[in-house]
C-alpha cells in the first residue's frame, strides 16, 4: 500500500478527520484530552491515533507519563497533493475543451443525438 | 449579462492554457471554476453536451491508459447524461447526471451523482450550474458552480472524489498552511 493510499484510508474515517480537526485547533493533545473533546471512547481514540500515525498524519512525543499528539505535515502533504490533483484534472479538461472549440469552431457535422 | 473586453493575454489558446480559476467556498460546500474559451457560447455549450465532443476533452487529465467506456448525453430539460471511465489502479468510475435546466446557449443546470465502481448512484447529488457569457470578442466566459450536498457527509467521502476536492482541500489547505 502506498503512502497516499494509507493517508486516504486514514482520512476516509470520519472520526479520524474529527481528531485531525481537534489536533489542528489544539496544536497538541494527550489521548485523554482528545477523549474529552471528541466524545469518543478511549480505546477508539487510541485506535484511530494509531492509524493516523501509521499514515504520518500525526506524530507523538513523550512528555513525562503522557504522550502528546500533534499533526504531522508529511501525511497531510500527501493528502493535499492527492486532492490537488483534481484541480489539475479541471485545468487539463478545460485546456482540451478550449483547443477543441477554438480550432474546430463550427463543425459541419450534425450534433450527435441519443436514440 | 455584462459584456466585458478580454484582457489581451487571453486572446490566444496558448495564453489561456492553465488559466482556469478555481475557488473553493469558505465552508467547503461549493466550488466555482471560471474559464474563457476561444469560441462562441453556442459552440462551448455544445462541447459540454455533445457526446462526440465530450469524448475529446472529458478524459483529459486522467492517468495514461484510462479509457472512457460510456459517454451519453441528452441535453433537454430532465434529460440524462452518463459518463464512465476505467482508470488504471482505480478501476471504473461513473458520472450520472440529470439536466435540470437547459437554456442553450446561456445556461445548463444538472444534478450529478459520482460513483466509484459499478454501483448505482445513491444519496443526494451535487448541483451544478454552467453559464456561458459572450465576452464581446467572440469568446465565451464559462462559470461552473458546483454545490455539494453534504460537505461533512463522511460515508461517501472517498467515493465522491471530486466532491472530496471541496471539503478536503479546504481542510487540508488550512491544516498544511498553519
Tell me, yes or no, whether A112 lies in a domain: no
Tell me, yes or no, whether A54 lies in a domain: yes
Place of cell 458552480: B145
Q: Which domain holds residue A40?
A: 1-104
Distance CA A19, CA A38 (A): 7
SS3 B134: strand
Contact B157 A12 (CB under 8 A): yes
B139-176: pLDDT as tens digits: 999 999 988 775 444 344 444 444 444 444 444 445 44
SS3 A10: helix
A69-113: pLDDT as tens digits: 998 877 777 766 666 666 778 889 999 999 999 998 666 555 544
A-contacting residues in B 119-178 (Cβ below 8 Å) = 142, 152, 154-155, 157-158, 161-162, 164-165, 168-169, 171-176, 178
What are the counts of helices (DSSP H) followed by strands (DSSP E) for chain A? 5, 2
Q: How far is B1 from chain A (nearest CA, A)?
A: 22
Domain ranges of chain B: 8-176
Q: Which of A77, A88, A102 sits opposite B176 (nearest CB)?
A: A77
Q: So what's the pLDDT on residue A84?
A: 64
Instruction: Return the CATH number at A43.
Output: 1.10.10.10
How many beta-carbon pairs under 8 angstroms link A with B? 123
SS3 A67: strand
B61-118: pLDDT as tens digits: 888 899 999 999 999 999 999 999 998 877 888 999 999 999 999 999 999 998 878 8
Q: Which of B22, B57, B176 sits opposite A96 (nearest CB)?
A: B57
Contact A100 B175 (CB under 8 A): no
Looking at beta carbons, which residues of chain A come within 8 Å of B154? 13-14, 17
Q: Cβ-count burial of B28 within 10 angstroms (0-12 exposed, 13-18 middle, 19+ buried)?
A: buried
SS3 A114: coil
Query: Which residues, in sequence order, are CB contacts of A9 under 8 Å at separation 6+?
Result: A1, A51, A55
Tell me, yes or no, whether A31 lies in a domain: yes
What is the ipTM score, two decimals?
A: 0.79
Please indicate if any CB of chain A lies within 8 Å of the CB of B76. Answer: no
B8-176, what's its fold? Alpha-D-Glucose-1,6-Bisphosphate; Chain A, domain 4 (3.30.530)
CA distances from B138 to A46, A99, B16 (A): 60, 15, 15
Tell me, yes or no, whether A111 lies in a domain: no
Tell me, yes or no, whether A62 lies in a domain: yes
Distance CA A32, CA B130 (A): 48
Over range B109-128, report the average pLDDT.
87
Tell me, yes or no, whether A113 lies in a domain: no
Measured in whole angstroms, the distance separating CA B122 from the mean position of its chain's CA atoms is 19
Looking at beta carbons, which residues of chain A come within 8 Å of B160? none
Tell me, yes or no, whether A81 lies in a domain: yes
Amino acid at each position: 500500500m502506498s503512502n497516499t493510499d494509507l493517508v486516504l484510508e486514514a482520512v476516509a474515517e470520519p472520526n479520524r478527520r474529527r481528531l485531525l480537526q481537534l489536533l489542528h485547533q489544539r496544536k497538541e493533545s494527550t489521548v485523554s484530552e482528545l477523549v474529552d473533546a471528541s466524545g469518543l471512547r478511549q480505546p477508539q481514540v487510541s485506535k484511530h491515533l494509531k492509524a493516523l500515525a501509521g499514515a504520518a498524519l500525526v506524530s507523538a512525543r513523550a512528555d513525562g507519563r503522557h504522550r502528546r499528539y500533534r499533526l504531522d505535515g508529511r501525511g497531510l502533504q500527501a493528502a493535499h497533493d492527492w486532492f490537488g490533483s483534481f484541480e489539475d484534472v479541471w485545468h487539463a479538461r478545460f485546456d482540451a475543451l478550449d483547443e477543441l472549440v477554438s480550432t474546430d469552431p463550427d463543425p459541419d457535422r450534425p450534433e450527435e443525438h441519443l436514440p | 449579462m455584462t459584456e466585458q473586453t478580454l484582457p489581451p493575454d487571453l486572446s490566444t489558446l496558448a495564453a489561456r492554457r492553465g488559466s482556469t480559476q478555481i475557488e473553493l467556498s469558505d465552508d467547503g460546500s461549493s466550488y466555482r471554476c471560471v474559464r474563457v474559451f476561444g469560441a462562441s457560447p453556442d459552440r462551448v455549450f455544445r462541447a459540454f453536451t455533445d457526446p462526440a465532443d465530450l469524448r475529446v476533452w472529458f478524459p483529459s487529465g486522467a492517468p495514461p491508459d484510462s479509457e472512457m467506456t460510456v459517454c451519453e448525453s441528452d441535453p433537454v430539460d430532465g434529460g440524462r447524461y452518463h459518463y464512465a471511465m476505467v482508470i488504471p489502479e482505480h478501476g471504473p468510475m461513473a458520472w450520472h447526471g440529470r439536466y435540470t435546466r437547459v437554456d442553450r446557449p446561456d445556461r445548463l443546470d444538472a444534478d450529478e451523482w459520482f460513483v466509484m465502481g459499478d454501483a448505482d448512484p445513491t444519496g443526494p447529488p451535487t448541483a451544478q450550474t454552467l453559464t456561458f457569457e459572450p465576452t464581446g470578442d467572440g469568446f465565451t466566459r464559462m462559470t461552473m458552480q458546483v454545490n455539494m450536498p453534504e460537505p461533512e457527509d463522511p460515508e461517501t467521502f472517498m467515493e465522491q472524489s471530486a466532491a472530496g476536492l471541496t471539503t478536503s482541500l479546504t481542510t487540508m489547505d488550512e491544516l498544511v498552511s498553519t
